[in-house]
Amino acid sequence: MPRRLLPAVLAAVLAGFGSGPSCTSGPAVPLGAAPGDADDLLVVDCLLPPQIRALGQRVTYLAARRAVKTSAADCRAAGGEYVAHARANQASALAVWLPLAKQGDATAQHYVGEIFEKGLGLPPDYRAAAHWYALAAEQGYAPSQL
């Protein structure tokens, strides 16, 4: 490249850096999220609504509700149910996860183990925690195998 073109090319490249959308727009915000609402980022125990399933052409039924840990905003977007602005306690946490754990869901069994291990307002029950961790580990759930 001739030396007299180098300053012109360099000036054009540098001018382009300041005009891109990433420099003129504000901070990145996920689609559908209002900036500044920190409560939307809280991780909650979310009960998703049941799925409507069809079996052939004549049978329609509701599948069981699923529990997930997700942000409050994502739970609301999915039509889920969660307790807002409440400190977790053992009873409310177990109400979400224990039914699924008893049905054999390894993730739920791990979460029930965590609930008993942490206590959540009650003294920890390490024996119960070990029981639920062992059930999840037997199914190959890696976090419970530690």
Per-residue pLDDT of the chain (146 residues; tens, 9 = 90+): 556 666 665 555 555 554 444 444 444 445 555 555 777 787 888 889 999 999 999 999 999 888 888 888 999 999 998 877 665 677 778 888 899 899 999 999 999 999 899 887 788 999 999 999 999 999 999 998 88
Cα 33 from Cα 3, distance rounded (Å):
50
What pLDDT is recorded for position 101?
93
What pLDDT is recorded for position 119?
85
What pLDDT is recorded for position 102?
95
What pLDDT is recorded for position 61?
92
Alpha carbon dihedral 76, 63, 129, 40, in 10-degree steps, equals -10
What pLDDT is recorded for position 140?
94
Structural contact between residues 70 and 41, judged by C-beta atoms closer than 8 angstroms: no
Strand, coil or helix: 124? coil
What pLDDT is recorded for position 86?
62
What pLDDT is recorded for position 44?
85
Supply the pTM of this predicted model: 0.56
What pLDDT is recorded for position 142?
92
Angle at 123 (CA atoms; ends 118, 125), nearest 5 degrees = 65
